[in-house]
Structure 1
Amino acid sequence: MDMWRVLGPFLIVLSVFSGCSDAEMPGISVFSVHSDLNLGQDGWDADFTGYPASAEDSIAYELKFDYTTLPDNLGGKGLMLSGKNIDGHLFMFIKNKVTGLAPNTEYSLIFEVRAASNATTDEDTDGSPGSDVFLKAGASSTEPQKIIANGNCELNLDKGLTASSAGANMIILGNIAANPATSYNYIQRSNSTYNAPFIARSDSNGELWLIIGTDSAYTGKTTIYIRQVDVIFTVPK
């Protein structure tokens, strides 16, 4: 991962949260993580939760992950996540570890995720493929992993009890509705839009795991391509 680069235009986002520039707040250090997934997978891995643990049931969910070419009208490459949300609980996510942070330190994180979606806000018999699927982001000193609980594959972190709610380890960046939704188009989602930085604490080794995913209440099929991830870290010196 192309980590710890000097901030350029993204520094503007910091002023949205703080109400003043870093020159007026000399005790604040600002760093960023940048993943341009057109250039490679950059250490990101993927998994799925919110479905039955049996092999027969999981096949029915049509779960797919790939580093692949984006739809023809967009070009380039990205991370593709796809699944059929049969019972309304499917969570599809990517994860990556950030190293080199200060140990045991609280960081304020601003996420910006660029993805490709063809989801519309229109309703069908399964709900809305755009409005009922939420893009979430978060970080934890614990690696995000799939665990088996009560016969289901579940996430070991708190992403929120429902698709439309935040949890201790993840916040909502918005839904995945695209405009227009007749073909795949880029969407950009960030917690800077509603002034809600996310707080996470690094472990004793100065590490944090990033997690980006879609939490779905839509009971049809969702396919999304993640093209770029940027994260701002700020911490008082």
Structure 2
Amino acid sequence: MRKVIAVVGVMWCMACKNDADVNRMSIIIDHSFNSSTTDWIGGFADYPEGVEEDWGLSVTHSFLPSPLDTTKKAVRISGNNHSDDLFMYLTRKVSMGLPNQVYKGTFTVQFATNAAEGSVGVGGSPAHSVYMGVGLASEEPKKVLDPADGHYRMNISKIQQATDGDDMKVIGNISNGKSVPEYTLVTRSGEFTGKTDKDGNLWIIVGTDSGFEAATTLYYTRIRVELATAIE
């Protein structure tokens, strides 16, 4: 399973002498994944150890599928959900410089999906039983092996299908809004509030949690997050 990474366009709302020394009150990360994938990491959780290949868990920088513009690239993330709860995510670290500071994140997520509106499938709908969530965490989101059952779980409080977690919230599903299963660009948006760690770092996370017990393949084309200081 490969990690994904993407080039970022960063704008911030403070004047400074040295970017490394900035205590950022606000920042906009507006990331198109066409050219490259620097700084973003992709991963999976809620699956048993050793099944990565059998379950088709994959994160790659790939061309968009037809009928979309096949000359452009996106972050392709795919997995076959045999656990009835597969979590697929992208995350990125942001250094804000202000320790233990609360930030409000305003998210816009664009992705391509072929999950048709009103569709049905094993365990649930390919469209309506796969939930999109966004969040901000004060520690790096990553999978950890639970020795009790041999499954990988997230180290943060993520979404659990339609239920919000402490570090993420649900902003919709992955329906393409059409009656046919063809890849279509759609946008989901929402807000989430989180706190930086003692070093002023914050981790953005975008991901899906699935109740559909078969393969889901998404192409992320853009993630935009506006972070601004907030009162706790």
| Residues 182-232 of structure 1: per-residue CA shift (max 9 Å, x gap) | 3100110011xxxxx311111222211111111001101100011100111
State whether structure 2 residue 68 is matched by structure 1 residue 74. Answer: yes
Paired with 2:186 and 2:139, the residues of 1 have a C-alpha distance of 29
Letter in 1 for 2:135: G
Using the size of structure 2 for normalisation, the TM-score is 0.84
State whether structure 2 residue 181 is matched by structure 1 residue 182. Answer: yes
Q: Which runs of 5+ in 2 are unaligned?
A: 1-7, 14-24
State whether structure 2 residue 9 is matched by structure 1 residue 2. Answer: yes
After TM superposition, which residue ranges in structure 1, 4 or more long, deviate above 3 angstroms? none
Give matches, 1:97-112, under 5 Å. 97-112=93-108
Correspondence for 2:145: 148
Give matches, 1:77-88, under 5 Å. 77-88=73-84
> Percent of pairs identical after alignment?
29
Aligned residues: 207
Letter in 2 for 1:132: S
User: Which has the larger helix fraction?
Assistant: 1
State whether structure 2 residue 227 is matched by structure 1 residue 233. Answer: yes
- Whether the aligned pair in 2 keeps the contact of 1:35 and 1:42 (CA below 8 Å) is no
Correspondence for 1:139: 136
Paired with 1:124 and 1:144, the residues of 2 have a C-alpha distance of 30
C-alpha displacement of 1:128: 0.5
Paired with 1:159 and 1:72, the residues of 2 have a C-alpha distance of 32
State whether structure 2 residue 56 is matched by structure 1 residue 62. Answer: yes
Correspondence for 1:95: 91
C-alpha displacement of 1:74: 1.8
What is the aligned-residue RMSD (CA, Å)? 1.7
Letter in 1 for 2:205: I
Correspondence for 2:201: 207
Paired with 1:39 and 1:81, the residues of 2 have a C-alpha distance of 17
Q: Which runs of 5+ in 1 are unaligned?
A: 7-28, 192-196
* 1:50–1:116 CA distance, 2 compared to 1 (3 A): same
SS in 2 for 1:112: strand
Paired with 1:73 and 1:152, the residues of 2 have a C-alpha distance of 37
